[in-house]
Structure 1
Amino acid sequence: MDAITPRPALATGVAAASFFLITLNASLVTVALPSIGRELGADDALAWILSGYSLVFAVCLLPAGVWSDRVGARRAFAIGMTGFVATSMVCADASDLTVLLAARAVQGAAAAAVLPSGLALLTAATSDPVRRTRAVGRWSAAGAVALVVGSPVGGAITTTFGWSATFWLNVAVGLPILVATCAVPTGQRSVRRTGRLSIGPGAVVSTVTGFAVNFSSYGVIFVVTLFVQQLLEKSAWVSGLVFVPMTALIIPANLLAGRLTTRYGAGRVLLVGQGLMLAGLLGLCSVDEQVSLWALIAWLLPIGAGAGLVAPAMTTMMLDGIAAARAGFGAGLLNASRQVGSGTAAALFGALLGTAHFLAGFRVSLVVAAAVVAVSTFLGVSLAGVPSRRVVRGD
């Protein structure tokens, strides 16, 4: 892996900016889909513009992390970001659906190279555990910011300039990141054989937690969106607004999690975060078609706050639970488990909502989500325990 860089702020900024871009890309393209369908006549295949990217991204995350450890984090990051920017240009200029789908698949592979290598850069730059924990909190917050602003920004850009502008925005954001990467010292490339891979209990807990958090949080977004539109008979615009407070709360929770983790340890923060998520999930089980939107939003808030606390803590636990030379593998493993959780939730909850009375399926889905979080919490306590209070070192 790259040697420790004397410029931790630069490496952390590059990693955070790349996570922001990858997260923003998903929201931008989702909003632009109807416009793409009208212009390219691709209504029947629109889902593959998202699914093709997501599937390749999920499949490539783990091997991309291993590759990052082999060739060096900066080199892997630069290659991945170059591919992401280049494929964004192809997507923006595509006049044929086949070209767009092919470019999106390659873009997914490029994004998979960027994510774990970016976290590996951050790890190499911040050897001090306290600094690294707080840097991970900022990294997570960058993704949360993109999640909040992605849909409105994508809608405004698509309406004003057309769908291709959403891909040109990827280029406008990606190029400065690529230039900044050149200023991150190369350091030493990792050796070809880094020895036996050792995965500690913390890394196992982090992997399971990653699956559980994405399974429950993305599952909630899926079922509540359908609940608002089908049972409450509200518009898609209103159903989107319902999640704004929840997602906005993730940002300060991410930043707070870094400080709480350095003071109390990742295990305690995971317990608190997952406890908040459980409270929100079980609270949502009580709603019916008479519920007010404000009550619905109120039950979503602890889910957002809990997910915001858990994400930096489980990332820190993964990086602490695996050798520094395997940081790319650890980042790839964690994010692959999160992607599997998101996809599993959509498939399972879609089946539950489609084969039962809607409200019954809605509640069963939430109970399943709560059970997955509860099992993850129990496993975390069993394997990693609740660590004693951490000694805080200087900023």
Structure 2
Amino acid sequence: MSSPQTAAARGTATPATVAPAPYPRRWYTLGVLCLSLLVIVVDTTIVNVAIPTLAASLDAGSGALAWIVDSYTLVFAALLLPAGSLGDRYGRRRALSAGMLVFGAGSLGAALSGTAAQLIAARAVMGAGAALIMPATLALLTAVFTDPAERARAVGLWSAVSGLGVAIGPTAGGWLLQHFSWGAIFLVNVPVVAAALAGAAFLVPASSAPHRPPVDAAGTVLAVAGLGALTYAVIQAGEDGWATTGTLARFAVAAVLLAAFGYSQVRAAAPMLDLSLFRDGRFTAAVASVTVMFFGLAGVTFVLTQIYQFVLGYSPLEAGVRALPGALALAAASPLGTRVAARFGIRVAITAGMVTAAAGLAWFATADGGSGYGHYVVASVLLSAGIGLTMSPATQSSLSALPPAKTGIGSAVSNTSRNLGTVLGVALVGSIAATVYSGRMPEGPAGESVGAAAGIARHLPAPSAAALHDTAAAAFVHGADLGVLITAAAVLVTAALVARHLPGRR
């Protein structure tokens, strides 16, 4: 038998230096992972355009409508960390398949719901399935793409699908509502789930952490309770007000639970979440940038959907179609972000993306009640392009800081921050827009929401209808401007922190 030195002298590799062979069907695997990701991300926004229809069909009040939207996100965010840990322990393909089954069952239940309560419960089940799916997709991607250059391309495509799903949700929902009943926006998930399950069985390899971590029961309970309490506090703050006693109490409870979770992780022999990850600037900066970018995207999508329908008078389908330029900009900018990061470094790519997004948000904030579609599409394209430039480099940055045993839980941390950013964006921008709107409108039903004003205006004589529409449009757009302007400031501050603390080109 030849020695390692002899083998090296002959120019052959020793077993210790042989890189693992790439998975031969890895690009097909990526297709399955992206399909699985797309269906759960679309569901974060597809319901928004159906709110007026659901209100009439299910006789749902404003509180029930809010929970139809938020129950999915609440459960999704609360279960992400434990779900990522379970995938690391028991297998990421198993987590993906189990998540698709749960998500599909919840989708079928949502489509067949006859009351608002049933729909809220079904949406919560869908959120549980989504929590299993999302971290598994990124962990599996990391496992099958071992070459750094190929992994960067794969992450770029994954990131594009992740952001694209948020952007095309209103378009897909509008088209389905135009041609079918509201149940179609949930029933359409079932064949997608079936295709993803079949693809996972044949094209996705088994993958788990190299050393199975033990189940952290205390950490799991505290993570679910803490993240659930925080998400609930943010959601309710948008309705009850941010400075009320109830809101402050809910945030205090969430803070105590999350502090207890952190303490349990420090003390645990085998913690579910290694808090030392946050000492790495690549990981922390990536998490912060993703959070604030989805904060902006979700907030703008929430108010823009209402502006298109209630201010500019578009149907759900017309509003959805007009959201497509932003979606296309995001899809085009995501692979560009990968190339910029490869040439100039991740810090330059993320900072450039965040500055571009902030420019779009600032431009949005100059709108008034008479602004047309052209104004909003410029803002949407700039924001979406900035998010596309940021997403892939930020995901690469977080992955580069993760050991193989922690890719599931690490990606779950990143995705949890994304979901919390989404919830916070809708809650904060939505609450500011609603508060300013109510304060600038005379007392009465039309002052409750811009949608209520639009419904009343349809039954008034033309001069009165035009006057009410103009007043409501000016009030709502002014409130939306203020919320979006605060978002732009948050993005710029985060961009400055990223530029300061994220490692340079190396």
Q: TM above 0.5, one fold?
A: yes
Structure 1 residue 262, shift from structure 2 partner = 3.0
Residue 83 of structure 1, aligned match among 94, 102, 105: 102
Residue 393 of structure 1 corresponds to none
Aligned length: 384
SS at match of 1:12: helix
- Output the TM-score relative to the length of structure 1: 0.87
List per-residue Cα deviations over 1:197-218 (Å, max 9, x = no partner). Answer: 3412111001111111112222
Task: Return the structure number with greater relative CO, CA threshold 8 A, min gap 6.
Answer: 1
Residue 128 of structure 1, aligned match among 144, 147, 152: 147
Residues of 1 paired with 2:411 and 2:121: CA distance? 26
Structure 1 residue 174, shift from structure 2 partner = 0.7
Residue 505 of structure 2, aligned match among 371, 374, 387: 387
Residue 397 of structure 2 corresponds to 317
User: Cα 1:31–1:227, aligned 2, differ >3 Å: closer, same or farther?
Assistant: closer
Residue 49 of structure 1 corresponds to 68
The answer on whether the counterparts of 2:47 and 2:170 sit within 8 Å (CA) in structure 1 is no
Structure 1 residue 132, shift from structure 2 partner = 1.1
The answer on whether the counterparts of 1:277 and 1:306 sit within 8 Å (CA) in structure 2 is yes
Shift >6 Å, 4+ stretches: none
Question: Who wins on radius of gyration, i.e. which is larger?
Answer: 2
Amino acid in the other structure paired with 2:335 = L
Residue 59 of structure 1, aligned match among 47, 55, 78: 78
The answer on whether the counterparts of 2:325 and 2:377 sit within 8 Å (CA) in structure 1 is yes
Structure 1 residue 16, shift from structure 2 partner = 0.7
Residue range with higher mean Cα deviation, 84-93 or 183-192 = 183-192
Structure 1 residue 288, shift from structure 2 partner = 3.3
Structure 1 residue 80, shift from structure 2 partner = 0.8
Residue 288 of structure 2 corresponds to 208
Once the two structures are superposed, the pairs formed by residues 9-158 of structure 1 within 5 Å of their partners are 9-43=27-61, 45-158=64-177
SS at match of 1:155: helix
Residues of 1 paired with 2:328 and 2:493: CA distance? 27
SS at match of 1:107: helix
SS at match of 1:288: coil
List per-residue Cα deviations over 1:220-266 (Å, max 9, x = no partner). Answer: 33444556677xx4215466555332222111111222333333332
Q: Does 1:191 align with 2:211?
A: yes
The answer on whether the counterparts of 1:135 and 1:258 sit within 8 Å (CA) in structure 2 is no
Residue range with higher mean Cα deviation, 358-367 or 45-54 = 358-367
The answer on whether the counterparts of 1:25 and 1:170 sit within 8 Å (CA) in structure 2 is no
The answer on whether the counterparts of 2:90 and 2:208 sit within 8 Å (CA) in structure 1 is no
The answer on whether the counterparts of 2:333 and 2:389 sit within 8 Å (CA) in structure 1 is yes
Percent identical pairs in the alignment equals 32
Residue 415 of structure 2 corresponds to 335
Structure 1 residue 347, shift from structure 2 partner = 2.4
Structure 1 residue 162, shift from structure 2 partner = 2.0
Amino acid in the other structure paired with 1:350 = G
Amino acid in the other structure paired with 2:32 = V
SS at match of 1:235: coil
The answer on whether the counterparts of 2:111 and 2:187 sit within 8 Å (CA) in structure 1 is yes
Q: Does 1:268 align with 2:338?
A: no
List per-residue Cα deviations over 1:273-328 (Å, max 9, x = no partner). Answer: 11211222233343434544323322332211101111111111111122122111
Residues of 2 paired with 1:97 and 1:362: CA distance? 28
Gaps of 5+ in 2: 1-20, 215-269, 441-474
Residue range with higher mean Cα deviation, 118-127 or 245-254 = 245-254
Residue 425 of structure 2, aligned match among 345, 370, 373: 345
> Over aligned residues, Cα RMSD in angstroms?
2.7
Residues of 1 paired with 2:115 and 2:431: CA distance? 33
Residues of 2 paired with 1:225 and 1:97: CA distance? 22
List per-residue Cα deviations over 1:6-39 (Å, max 9, x = no partner). Answer: 4311321121111111123334433444444444
User: Cα 1:189–1:344, aligned 2, differ >3 Å: closer, same or farther?
Assistant: closer
